[in-house]
Amino acid sequence: MKNCELLDRYRDGELNDSQKEEFRRHLAVCRECRTANALLDNLVSVMRDETITMSDMADKIARRAFQRISSWDGLLAQWFRPGLAFATACLSIALCAFIWFAPERPPDDSMEYETLLNQADASDPASEILTAGESDFVLMLMWGGNTQ
Amino acid sequence: MDSTDATLVDRTRNGDERAFAELVRRYQAAVWGTAHRLLGNSSEKEDAVQETFLRAFTALGKFDPKYPFGPWILRIAANYCIDQLRKRKSGKTRLWSELGDLEQERLLRDFTRDGGVESSVKSDLESYAEAARSLLDRLNPKYRAAFVLREVEEREYDEVAEILGTTGAAARVRVCRARSELQKKLSELPGIKTGKKRDANENEKL
Protein backbone atom coordinates (compact mmCIF):
# COMPACT_ATOMS: atom_id res chain seq x y z
CA MET A 1 0.00 0.00 0.00
CA LYS A 2 1.27 3.46 -0.86
CA ASN A 3 2.23 5.82 1.91
CA CYS A 4 -0.19 8.48 0.73
CA GLU A 5 -3.03 5.98 1.09
CA LEU A 6 -1.71 5.07 4.50
CA LEU A 7 -1.71 8.75 5.48
CA ASP A 8 -5.38 8.97 4.50
CA ARG A 9 -6.26 5.84 6.41
CA TYR A 10 -4.23 7.02 9.39
CA ARG A 11 -6.05 10.36 9.44
CA ASP A 12 -9.41 8.63 9.03
CA GLY A 13 -8.63 6.37 12.00
CA GLU A 14 -8.85 3.23 9.91
CA LEU A 15 -5.51 1.64 10.82
CA ASN A 16 -5.30 -0.98 13.55
CA ASP A 17 -2.94 -0.46 16.47
CA SER A 18 0.07 -2.16 14.93
CA GLN A 19 -0.41 -0.43 11.56
CA LYS A 20 -0.75 2.86 13.38
CA GLU A 21 2.45 2.27 15.31
CA GLU A 22 4.24 1.30 12.11
CA PHE A 23 3.03 4.42 10.32
CA ARG A 24 4.18 6.63 13.20
CA ARG A 25 7.66 5.15 12.85
CA HIS A 26 7.45 5.95 9.16
CA LEU A 27 6.45 9.54 9.91
CA ALA A 28 9.58 9.92 12.03
CA VAL A 29 11.80 9.26 9.03
CA CYS A 30 9.75 10.51 6.05
CA ARG A 31 9.75 14.27 5.79
CA GLU A 32 7.10 14.35 3.07
CA CYS A 33 4.52 12.41 5.07
CA ARG A 34 5.50 14.20 8.27
CA THR A 35 5.06 17.63 6.68
CA ALA A 36 1.76 16.65 5.07
CA ASN A 37 0.44 15.32 8.35
CA ALA A 38 1.64 18.38 10.29
CA LEU A 39 0.03 20.71 7.77
CA LEU A 40 -3.31 18.94 8.03
CA ASP A 41 -3.11 18.71 11.83
CA ASN A 42 -2.33 22.40 12.13
CA LEU A 43 -5.00 23.49 9.65
CA VAL A 44 -7.63 21.40 11.35
CA SER A 45 -6.72 22.43 14.89
CA VAL A 46 -6.76 26.13 14.01
CA MET A 47 -10.11 25.87 12.26
CA ARG A 48 -11.64 23.83 15.07
CA ASP A 49 -10.40 26.16 17.81
CA GLU A 50 -11.41 29.35 16.08
CA THR A 51 -14.24 31.22 17.71
CA ILE A 52 -17.04 31.79 15.26
CA THR A 53 -19.08 34.84 16.11
CA MET A 54 -22.70 34.48 15.20
CA SER A 55 -25.93 36.22 16.01
CA ASP A 56 -29.30 34.65 16.70
CA MET A 57 -31.20 35.17 13.47
CA ALA A 58 -33.97 32.63 14.11
CA ASP A 59 -36.87 35.05 14.67
CA LYS A 60 -35.78 37.37 11.88
CA ILE A 61 -35.45 34.52 9.37
CA ALA A 62 -38.78 32.96 10.37
CA ARG A 63 -40.54 36.34 10.07
CA ARG A 64 -39.05 36.92 6.62
CA ALA A 65 -40.00 33.44 5.47
CA PHE A 66 -43.63 33.85 6.54
CA GLN A 67 -43.85 37.43 5.25
CA ARG A 68 -42.88 36.13 1.85
CA ILE A 69 -45.78 33.75 1.61
CA SER A 70 -48.43 35.61 3.60
CA SER A 71 -48.28 38.91 1.75
CA TRP A 72 -50.11 39.31 -1.52
CA ASP A 73 -46.98 40.80 -2.86
CA GLY A 74 -45.17 37.57 -2.05
CA LEU A 75 -47.85 35.47 -3.65
CA LEU A 76 -47.81 37.66 -6.72
CA ALA A 77 -44.07 37.43 -6.83
CA GLN A 78 -44.17 33.67 -6.51
CA TRP A 79 -47.02 32.79 -8.77
CA PHE A 80 -48.51 35.61 -10.79
CA ARG A 81 -45.92 38.25 -11.33
CA PRO A 82 -43.77 36.31 -13.79
CA GLY A 83 -46.86 35.48 -15.84
CA LEU A 84 -48.19 39.02 -15.69
CA ALA A 85 -44.85 40.51 -16.56
CA PHE A 86 -44.56 38.17 -19.51
CA ALA A 87 -48.07 38.90 -20.74
CA THR A 88 -47.56 42.67 -20.34
CA ALA A 89 -44.28 42.50 -22.22
CA CYS A 90 -45.91 40.52 -25.05
CA LEU A 91 -48.83 42.95 -25.29
CA SER A 92 -46.51 45.96 -25.26
CA ILE A 93 -44.39 44.51 -28.02
CA ALA A 94 -47.49 43.64 -30.07
CA LEU A 95 -48.91 47.15 -29.57
CA CYS A 96 -45.67 48.87 -30.54
CA ALA A 97 -45.33 46.62 -33.57
CA PHE A 98 -48.91 47.40 -34.62
CA ILE A 99 -48.46 51.16 -34.25
CA TRP A 100 -45.16 51.11 -36.08
CA PHE A 101 -46.03 48.81 -38.97
CA ALA A 102 -49.77 49.19 -39.44
CA PRO A 103 -50.82 51.09 -42.68
CA GLU A 104 -52.99 54.16 -42.44
CA ARG A 105 -56.55 53.24 -41.83
CA PRO A 106 -58.44 53.00 -45.19
CA PRO A 107 -61.58 55.13 -45.49
CA ASP A 108 -64.88 53.45 -44.95
CA ASP A 109 -65.99 51.80 -48.21
CA SER A 110 -69.70 52.60 -47.86
CA MET A 111 -68.99 56.27 -47.14
CA GLU A 112 -66.75 56.49 -50.14
CA TYR A 113 -69.40 54.94 -52.35
CA GLU A 114 -72.05 57.40 -51.16
CA THR A 115 -69.75 60.39 -51.62
CA LEU A 116 -68.85 59.35 -55.13
CA LEU A 117 -72.47 58.73 -55.98
CA ASN A 118 -73.51 62.19 -54.76
CA GLN A 119 -70.69 63.83 -56.66
CA ALA A 120 -71.72 61.94 -59.77
CA ASP A 121 -75.35 62.91 -59.34
CA ALA A 122 -74.46 66.55 -58.91
CA SER A 123 -72.10 66.87 -61.83
CA ASP A 124 -73.26 64.38 -64.44
CA PRO A 125 -75.16 66.25 -67.23
CA ALA A 126 -76.68 62.98 -68.36
CA SER A 127 -78.86 62.93 -65.26
CA GLU A 128 -80.39 66.31 -66.28
CA ILE A 129 -81.09 65.03 -69.77
CA LEU A 130 -82.60 61.87 -68.32
CA THR A 131 -84.78 63.95 -66.00
CA ALA A 132 -85.90 66.18 -68.89
CA GLY A 133 -86.54 63.15 -71.07
CA GLU A 134 -88.62 61.62 -68.34
CA SER A 135 -90.88 64.66 -68.02
CA ASP A 136 -91.38 64.85 -71.79
CA PHE A 137 -92.29 61.21 -71.79
CA VAL A 138 -94.89 61.74 -69.03
CA LEU A 139 -96.40 64.73 -70.83
CA MET A 140 -96.55 62.72 -74.02
CA LEU A 141 -98.51 60.02 -72.24
CA MET A 142 -100.81 62.59 -70.65
CA TRP A 143 -101.55 64.59 -73.74
CA GLY A 144 -101.53 61.88 -76.32
CA GLY A 145 -98.09 62.66 -77.67
CA ASN A 146 -98.92 66.27 -78.53
CA THR A 147 -96.61 68.09 -76.35
CA GLN A 148 -96.01 71.06 -78.53
CA MET B 1 -41.72 20.47 26.18
CA ASP B 2 -39.13 19.73 23.51
CA SER B 3 -40.59 19.00 20.11
CA THR B 4 -38.89 16.75 17.60
CA ASP B 5 -37.62 18.19 14.34
CA ALA B 6 -40.37 16.32 12.51
CA THR B 7 -43.03 17.96 14.70
CA LEU B 8 -41.54 21.39 14.12
CA VAL B 9 -41.46 20.76 10.37
CA ASP B 10 -45.09 19.69 10.46
CA ARG B 11 -46.13 22.74 12.49
CA THR B 12 -44.21 25.01 10.13
CA ARG B 13 -46.05 23.54 7.16
CA ASN B 14 -49.30 24.37 8.95
CA GLY B 15 -48.30 28.00 9.25
CA ASP B 16 -46.65 28.12 12.69
CA GLU B 17 -43.95 30.80 12.46
CA ARG B 18 -42.62 30.09 15.96
CA ALA B 19 -42.05 26.45 15.07
CA PHE B 20 -39.89 27.48 12.13
CA ALA B 21 -37.98 29.95 14.32
CA GLU B 22 -37.27 27.09 16.73
CA LEU B 23 -36.06 24.91 13.87
CA VAL B 24 -33.72 27.69 12.72
CA ARG B 25 -32.48 28.16 16.30
CA ARG B 26 -31.56 24.48 16.52
CA TYR B 27 -29.50 24.39 13.34
CA GLN B 28 -28.24 27.93 12.84
CA ALA B 29 -24.95 27.29 14.71
CA ALA B 30 -24.15 24.31 12.47
CA VAL B 31 -25.03 26.24 9.32
CA TRP B 32 -23.12 29.29 10.54
CA GLY B 33 -20.03 27.16 11.28
CA THR B 34 -20.01 25.43 7.89
CA ALA B 35 -20.66 28.73 6.08
CA HIS B 36 -17.80 30.37 8.02
CA ARG B 37 -15.36 27.58 7.19
CA LEU B 38 -16.34 27.56 3.54
CA LEU B 39 -16.78 31.27 2.87
CA GLY B 40 -14.57 32.86 5.50
CA ASN B 41 -15.08 35.90 7.64
CA SER B 42 -17.11 37.88 5.15
CA SER B 43 -20.57 39.36 4.89
CA GLU B 44 -21.39 36.52 2.51
CA LYS B 45 -21.58 34.26 5.55
CA GLU B 46 -24.63 35.98 7.04
CA ASP B 47 -26.33 35.95 3.64
CA ALA B 48 -25.53 32.24 3.38
CA VAL B 49 -27.23 31.48 6.71
CA GLN B 50 -30.35 33.48 5.81
CA GLU B 51 -30.55 32.14 2.29
CA THR B 52 -30.09 28.55 3.48
CA PHE B 53 -33.08 28.70 5.83
CA LEU B 54 -35.25 30.64 3.37
CA ARG B 55 -34.54 28.04 0.69
CA ALA B 56 -35.27 25.29 3.20
CA PHE B 57 -38.57 26.95 4.05
CA THR B 58 -39.56 27.11 0.40
CA ALA B 59 -38.58 23.47 -0.12
CA LEU B 60 -40.05 22.19 3.16
CA GLY B 61 -42.87 20.50 1.25
CA LYS B 62 -40.31 18.19 -0.33
CA PHE B 63 -38.62 17.28 2.96
CA ASP B 64 -39.42 13.80 4.23
CA PRO B 65 -39.55 13.94 8.07
CA LYS B 66 -38.50 10.27 8.20
CA TYR B 67 -34.96 11.50 7.54
CA PRO B 68 -32.91 13.72 9.87
CA PHE B 69 -33.23 17.47 9.32
CA GLY B 70 -29.53 18.25 10.04
CA PRO B 71 -27.92 16.76 6.92
CA TRP B 72 -30.77 18.14 4.80
CA ILE B 73 -30.26 21.72 5.94
CA LEU B 74 -26.48 21.36 5.69
CA ARG B 75 -26.86 20.10 2.16
CA ILE B 76 -28.70 23.30 1.23
CA ALA B 77 -26.01 25.34 3.01
CA ALA B 78 -23.13 23.46 1.33
CA ASN B 79 -24.70 23.82 -2.11
CA TYR B 80 -25.15 27.54 -1.58
CA CYS B 81 -21.57 28.00 -0.32
CA ILE B 82 -20.07 25.92 -3.15
CA ASP B 83 -21.96 28.11 -5.65
CA GLN B 84 -20.59 31.24 -3.98
CA LEU B 85 -17.05 29.85 -4.06
CA ARG B 86 -17.41 29.10 -7.77
CA LYS B 87 -18.57 32.67 -8.41
CA ARG B 88 -15.56 33.86 -6.46
CA LYS B 89 -13.25 31.73 -8.57
CA SER B 90 -14.80 33.07 -11.72
CA GLY B 91 -14.09 36.57 -10.44
CA LYS B 92 -17.70 37.57 -9.81
CA THR B 93 -16.96 38.34 -6.18
CA ARG B 94 -13.71 39.27 -4.53
CA LEU B 95 -12.45 37.85 -1.26
CA TRP B 96 -11.68 40.49 1.28
CA SER B 97 -8.81 39.82 3.65
CA GLU B 98 -7.21 41.77 6.45
CA LEU B 99 -3.92 39.92 5.96
CA GLY B 100 -1.49 40.77 3.21
CA ASP B 101 0.01 38.01 1.04
CA LEU B 102 3.39 38.12 2.79
CA GLU B 103 1.81 37.90 6.21
CA GLN B 104 -0.29 34.92 5.11
CA GLU B 105 2.76 33.14 3.73
CA ARG B 106 4.63 33.76 6.98
CA LEU B 107 1.79 32.22 8.97
CA LEU B 108 1.38 29.32 6.52
CA ARG B 109 5.07 28.43 6.92
CA ASP B 110 4.29 27.54 10.53
CA PHE B 111 1.68 25.04 9.36
CA THR B 112 4.35 22.72 8.00
CA ARG B 113 6.06 22.22 11.34
CA ASP B 114 4.98 19.74 13.96
CA GLY B 115 3.43 21.83 16.68
CA GLY B 116 4.40 24.92 14.68
CA VAL B 117 1.05 26.52 15.19
CA GLU B 118 0.30 25.45 18.74
CA SER B 119 3.30 27.35 20.14
CA SER B 120 2.11 30.71 18.89
CA VAL B 121 -1.53 30.09 18.18
CA LYS B 122 -2.94 31.29 21.46
CA SER B 123 -2.05 34.88 20.76
CA ASP B 124 -2.89 34.92 17.08
CA LEU B 125 -5.54 32.31 16.44
CA GLU B 126 -7.71 34.49 14.22
CA SER B 127 -4.82 35.32 11.88
CA TYR B 128 -3.82 31.66 11.64
CA ALA B 129 -7.41 30.68 10.95
CA GLU B 130 -7.61 33.26 8.19
CA ALA B 131 -4.35 32.01 6.72
CA ALA B 132 -5.76 28.47 6.85
CA ARG B 133 -8.86 29.58 4.97
CA SER B 134 -6.73 31.40 2.41
CA LEU B 135 -5.04 28.07 1.67
CA LEU B 136 -8.43 26.35 1.44
CA ASP B 137 -9.52 29.09 -0.99
CA ARG B 138 -7.09 27.58 -3.49
CA LEU B 139 -8.94 24.26 -3.54
CA ASN B 140 -11.75 23.10 -5.79
CA PRO B 141 -14.91 24.12 -3.83
CA LYS B 142 -16.18 20.53 -3.76
CA TYR B 143 -12.92 19.25 -2.27
CA ARG B 144 -12.91 22.07 0.24
CA ALA B 145 -16.44 21.28 1.38
CA ALA B 146 -15.60 17.58 1.77
CA PHE B 147 -12.44 18.39 3.71
CA VAL B 148 -14.20 20.81 6.07
CA LEU B 149 -17.08 18.41 6.74
CA ARG B 150 -14.80 15.42 7.31
CA GLU B 151 -11.66 16.77 8.93
CA VAL B 152 -12.74 19.96 10.69
CA GLU B 153 -16.30 19.03 11.60
CA GLU B 154 -15.39 15.34 12.16
CA ARG B 155 -18.37 13.89 10.32
CA GLU B 156 -18.54 10.30 9.14
CA TYR B 157 -18.09 9.71 5.41
CA ASP B 158 -21.72 8.61 5.07
CA GLU B 159 -22.89 11.94 6.44
CA VAL B 160 -20.39 13.89 4.30
CA ALA B 161 -21.74 12.03 1.27
CA GLU B 162 -25.34 12.78 2.25
CA ILE B 163 -24.62 16.49 2.71
CA LEU B 164 -22.74 16.71 -0.58
CA GLY B 165 -25.31 14.61 -2.40
CA THR B 166 -22.83 11.99 -3.49
CA THR B 167 -21.66 8.47 -2.61
CA GLY B 168 -19.44 7.55 0.32
CA ALA B 169 -16.69 6.49 -2.07
CA ALA B 170 -16.83 9.82 -3.93
CA ALA B 171 -16.76 11.74 -0.64
CA ARG B 172 -13.69 9.77 0.39
CA VAL B 173 -11.95 10.58 -2.90
CA ARG B 174 -12.73 14.28 -2.50
CA VAL B 175 -11.25 14.36 1.01
CA CYS B 176 -8.10 12.51 -0.17
CA ARG B 177 -7.69 14.93 -3.07
CA ALA B 178 -8.19 17.90 -0.78
CA ARG B 179 -5.42 16.61 1.48
CA SER B 180 -2.92 16.16 -1.32
CA GLU B 181 -3.97 19.42 -3.03
CA LEU B 182 -3.44 21.36 0.20
CA GLN B 183 0.07 20.03 0.42
CA LYS B 184 0.70 20.89 -3.22
CA LYS B 185 -0.73 24.40 -2.93
CA LEU B 186 1.36 25.08 0.14
CA SER B 187 4.52 23.89 -1.61
CA GLU B 188 3.84 26.37 -4.42
CA LEU B 189 4.17 29.29 -2.02
CA PRO B 190 7.61 30.91 -2.01
CA GLY B 191 9.96 29.96 0.80
CA ILE B 192 8.01 26.90 1.90
CA LYS B 193 9.49 23.43 1.82
CA THR B 194 7.12 20.56 2.12
CA GLY B 195 9.85 17.93 2.12
CA LYS B 196 9.65 16.27 -1.22
CA LYS B 197 12.80 14.29 -0.47
CA ARG B 198 12.79 11.49 1.98
CA ASP B 199 15.17 11.61 4.92
CA ALA B 200 18.38 9.74 4.35
CA ASN B 201 17.79 7.26 7.09
CA GLU B 202 14.45 6.14 5.72
CA ASN B 203 14.78 2.46 4.97
CA GLU B 204 11.52 1.16 6.14
CA LYS B 205 8.85 -0.18 3.88
CA LEU B 206 5.23 -0.12 4.89
pLDDT at residue A99 greater than cutoff 50: yes
Name residue B159's amino acid: E
Chain B contact for A75 (CB, 8 A cutoff) = no
pLDDT of residue B4: 92
Indicate yes or no: CB of B21 within 8 angstroms of CB of A32: no
Q: At what angle do helices A31-49 and A3-11 cross, to 10 degrees?
A: 30
pLDDT of residue B198: 38
Taking only the tens place, the pLDDT of each residue in B81-106 is 999 999 887 664 445 455 677 777 77
Q: What is the pTM of this model?
A: 0.70
Question: Could you give the CA distance from residue B72 to residue B78 in angstroms, rounded to a whole number?
Answer: 10
pLDDT at residue A110 greater than cutoff 70: no
Indicate yes or no: CB of A31 within 8 angstroms of CB of B199: yes
Could you give the ipTM of this predicted complex? 0.82
**CATH topology for the B1-89 domain:** Rna Polymerase Sigma Factor; Chain: A (1.10.1740)
CA dihedral (B100, B102, B104, B106) in degrees, to 10, reads: -150
List the single range of A21-25, A114-118, B113-117 with lowest mean pLDDT.
A114-118
Indicate yes or no: CB of A32 within 8 angstroms of CB of B198: yes
- Mean pLDDT, each 10-residue run in order, chain B (206 residues): 84 92 95 93 86 94 91 96 87 55 76 68 76 89 96 95 95 95 84 50 40
Residue of chain B nearest A32, judged by CA positions: B195
Task: Tell me the count of A-B CB pairs closer than 8 A.
Answer: 150
Q: Tell me the nearest-neighbour CA distance from A30 into chain B, angstroms.
A: 5
